Amino acid sequence: MILITGASSGLGAQIAQRYAQQGKSLLLSGRDQQRLQQVKDNCLGKAATHVTDLAEAKSVSTLFDALPQPPELIIHCAGSGYFGPLTEQQPQQIVALINNNLLSATLVLQQAVKRYQDQAVTVVVVMSTAAQVAKAGESSYCAVKWGVRGLVESLRLELKYKPMKLVAVYPGGMATEFWQTSGKDIDLSNFMSAAEAAQMLVDALQHSARGFVSDITINRTE
Task: Verify binding: residue 69, a second copy, rule CB under 8 A.
Answer: no
Strand-pairing partners, residue 55, are: none
Contact call for residue 179 and a second copy (CB under 8 A): no
Smallest distance from a second copy to CB 111, Å: 9
Residue 185 touches a second copy, criterion: CB under 8 A? no
Please tell me whether residue 200 binds a second copy under the rule CB under 8 A: yes
- Contact indicator for 42, 20 with CB cutoff of 8 Å: yes
216 makes contact with a second copy (CB under 8 A) = yes
Q: Cβ closer to a second copy: 28 or 192?
A: 192
Answer for which of 34, 68, 91, 187 binds a second copy (CB under 8 A) is 91
Residue 1 CA to residue 209 CA, distance in Å, equals: 20
How many residues sit in the footprint of a second copy (CB under 8 A)?
A: 77
What is the DSSP secondary structure assignment for residue 175, as one 8-state letter?
A: E
Distance between alpha carbon 132 and the CA centroid of its chain, in Å? 16
Helix (H, G, I), strand (E, B) or coil at 130: helix
Please provide residue 94's backbone torsions phi and psi, each rounded to the nearest 5 degrees: -65, -40
Between residues 10 and 147, which has the closer beta carbon with respect to a second copy?
147
Work out whether 147 is an interface residue with a second copy (CB under 8 A).
yes
Q: For residues 165 and 151, give the distance between their C-alpha atoms in angstroms, rounded to a whole number.
A: 14
Interface with a second copy, residue 72, by CB under 8 A: no
Query: Which of 28, 82 has the CB closer to a second copy?
Result: 82
Among 22, 41, 65, 213, binds a second copy (CB under 8 A): 213
Q: Which residue of 158, 180, 181, 186 would you call a contact of a second copy, by CB under 8 A?
A: 158
Find the part of the chain contacting a second copy (CB under 8 A) among 8-16, 19-27, 31-39, 91-99: 91-99
Show Cβ contacts of residue 115 under 8 Å, excluding neighbours closer than 6 positions. 64, 70
Which H/E stretch holds residue 185? none
Nearest one of 108, 112, 132, 107 to 122, comparing CA atoms: 112
Distance separating alpha carbons of residues 46 and 38, to the nearest angstrom: 13
Which range, of 18-26, 44-52, 69-77, 137-145, touches a second copy by CB under 8 A?
137-145
DSSP 8-state assignment for residue 209: S
Q: Does 170 bind a second copy (CB under 8 A)?
A: yes
